[in-house]
Amino acid sequence: MNSFLVSDTIHMLAQIVIGSVWLFHGLYSKILNGIRRHRLIVGKILGVTNAGIATTRSN
């Protein structure tokens, strides 16, 4: 097996990429309301009434 594919560098890179996707979609899009349609996602989980409270901006 290619040692490059199992190296610590690839493992670290994968963690950084996955973490950055989580930060963008979880923090920016939902919590900071960076993408307004993501408020619907928050609303489905917490309820429509609480979606505005859980995100920092209102419509």
Model pLDDT, residue 16: 95
Predicted TM-score (pTM) of the model is: 0.51
Average pLDDT, consecutive stretches of 10 residues, N- to C-terminus, the chain (59 residues): 68 92 83 77 80 63
What pLDDT digit, counting tens, does each position of 22-35 carry?
888 888 877 777 77
Percent of the chain with pLDDT over 90: 15
22-57: b or e for each residue (b if 16 or more CB lie within 10 Å)? eeeeeeebbeebeeeebbeebbeeeeeeebbeebee
The rounded percent of the chain whose pLDDT value lies above 70 is: 80
